[in-house]
Amino acid sequence: MSDTFKRSLDIPGVSHGGAPIPMGARVGPLLCSSGIPGVDPATGQLPASAAEQARHAFANLKAVLAAGGATLADVAKLTVYIKDNQAREPINAEWLACFPDPHDRPARHTLVYDLQHGMWLQLEVIAYVKADQRDATP
């Protein structure tokens, strides 16, 4: 890996409420995220609807991947935490937009979790950055 490559990955406009936690980290070919919220990076605010949070969460997922030199094609597993089952439909819509081929999707696990502060959902990703991307500085 390049000496200039950053281990911690961040997204402008999205944070963990002031906690010293990056959005993700990349170590060699492995990219793992922290909880990726559905915060609108333009405003830093969490929209009220599950659909808007899902849209922003998947956009933020793509931003974390890009910060680590990866794309959706590099995703091995996505874990989705939801406040309740009402969030499943908008999540599935974003999921299908990102991974339309039923024979080329990453593993996915969805858990109902007591998310706080108005969050409907949160994403966690594990991605494997291909050999030809490993030394690239995003």
Mean predicted confidence (pLDDT) in 64-77: 96
Query: What sections of the chain are H helices per DSSP?
Result: 50-67, 88-98
Mean predicted confidence (pLDDT) in 58-80: 97
Length of the chain as a residue count: 138
Which of 98-115 are b and which e, b meaning 16 or more Cβ less than 10 Å from the residue's Cβ? ebeeeeeebeeebeeeeb
pLDDT number for residue 17: 78
CA dihedral 92, 113, 64, 101 (to 10 degrees): -20
Of 7-11, 123-127, 128-132, give the range with the top mean pLDDT: 123-127
What whole-number distance in Å separates Cα of residue 129 and Cα of residue 68? 8
Reported as a pLDDT band with limits 50, 70 and 90, residue 78 is: very high
> Residue 136 pLDDT more than 60?
no
Secondary structure class of 11 (helix, strand, coil) = strand
